[in-house]
């Protein structure tokens, strides 16, 4: 089992929703957390206060991770502040849903850039530091939509499926090092992303989930802790946390 005390994690989009739950759960386990945010500085600062209240340590860095230079700056600031990086959680993501016929090139590119290209940006910037760790972890937050598809979500499904292929390939390349690479594929988790879905559609989704409820952000966060703590021999995998919706 890996001792997480004083390890350092970067969580992209870590100030809100699933990312905030991941940041908090890592902090609870003794990890120092670099909380990346793009625009939501308020929630990132509030989360730092909450983490400090439970005796943890966290630091916020603004960066748009769809941009390579900003991702490099994020990693440099993490190193300047905490001196090492052991865990990279690629959590930042957006949706711009539209049926394919109406999908604009801009919404295609933005979703691919924020969800998928960001993973290249942060990983390439952080990899040399992760390789120095005795227990490096790269965890990519993909989605059930990348596995099963989603109506009106060709852009998002392509990005999230891309993250899965990326995870497997990088896991192969890094298998002889101390760095594992895995994806977590959440089902429908009760955050702003799901709260934006119209109520009548939400009801139809819940009716299809075998466990008959949305997941909670901390249920994803506990999957992260499992991979970080007990995941020495787990690499290239998809951890499905979805209430049985996709098997």
Q: Which is nearer to ligand NAD, 8 or 145 (CB)?
A: 145
Least Å distance between CB 60 and ligand NAD? 11
Q: Is 111 in the site for ligand NAD (CB under 6 A)?
A: no
Q: Is 36 in the site for ligand NAD (CB under 6 A)?
A: yes
Applying CB under 6 A, the span of 80-88, 90-98, 126-134, 175-183 interacting with ligand NAD comes to: 90-98
- Report which secondary-structure segment, H or E, holds 45: helix 41-53
Among 56, 93, 136, 223, binds ligand NAD (CB under 6 A): 93
Q: Is 193 in the site for ligand NAD (CB under 6 A)?
A: yes
Instruction: Work out the widest C-alpha separation in the chain, in whole angstroms.
Output: 51
What single-letter DSSP state applies at residue 28?
H
Among 136, 162, 186, 223, binds ligand NAD (CB under 6 A): 186
Q: Is 164 in the site for ligand NAD (CB under 6 A)?
A: no
Question: Is there a catalytic annotation at residue 246?
Answer: no
One of 37, 59, 156, 166 is an active-site residue; which one? Answer: 156
Integer Cα distance of 111 and 109 in angstroms: 6
- Report which secondary-structure segment, H or E, holds 184: strand 179-186
Integer Cα distance of 154 and 104 in angstroms: 11
What single-letter DSSP state applies at residue 176?
T
Q: Which is nearer to ligand NAD, 6 or 151 (CB)?
A: 151
Among 9, 65, 164, 227, binds ligand NAD (CB under 6 A): 65
Name the residue among 78, 111, 77 with its Cα closest to residue 92.
111
Name the residue among 142, 150, 188, 185 with its Cα closest to residue 166.
142
Q: Which is nearer to ligand NAD, 36 or 123 (CB)?
A: 36
Polymer length in residues for the chain: 247
Integer Cα distance of 32 and 70 in angstroms: 21
Least Å distance between CB 95 and ligand NAD? 7
Q: For residues 236 and 174, is the Cβ–Cβ distance under 8 A?
A: no
Q: What residues line the site for ligand NAD (CB under 6 A)?
A: 12-13, 15-19, 36-38, 40, 64-66, 91-94, 114, 141, 143, 186, 188-189, 191-194
């Amino acid at each position: 089992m890996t001792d997480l005390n004083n390890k350092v994690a970067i969580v992209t989009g870590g100030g809100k929703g699933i990312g905030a739950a991941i940041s908090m759960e890592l902090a609870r386990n003794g990890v120092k957390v670099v909380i990346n945010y793009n625009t939501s500085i308020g929630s990132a600062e509030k989360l730092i206060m909450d983490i400090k209240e439970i005796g943890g340590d966290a630091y916020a860095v603004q960066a748009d991770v769809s941009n390579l230079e900003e991702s490099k700056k994020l990693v440099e600031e993490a190193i300047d502040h905490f001196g090492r990086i052991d865990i990279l959680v690629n959590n930042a993501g957006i949706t711009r849903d539209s049926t394919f016929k109406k999908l604009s090139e801009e919404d295609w590119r933005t979703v691919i850039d924020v969800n998928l290209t960001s993973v290249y940006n942060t990983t390439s910037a952080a990899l040399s530091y992760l390789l120095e760790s005795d227990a490096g972890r790269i965890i990519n937050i993909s989605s059930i939509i990348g596995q099963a598809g989603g109506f009106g979500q060709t852009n998002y499904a392509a990005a999230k499926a891309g993250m899965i292929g990326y995870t497997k390939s990088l896991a192969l390349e890094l298998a002889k090092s101390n760095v594992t690479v895995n994806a977590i594929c959440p089902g429908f988790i009760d955050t702003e992303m799901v709260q934006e879905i119209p109520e009548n559609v939400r009801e139809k989704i819940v009716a299809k989930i075998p466990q008959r409820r949305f997941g909670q952000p901390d249920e994803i966060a506990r999957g992260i802790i499992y991979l970080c703590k007990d995941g020495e021999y787990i690499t290239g995998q998809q951890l499905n946390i979805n209430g049985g919706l996709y098997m």
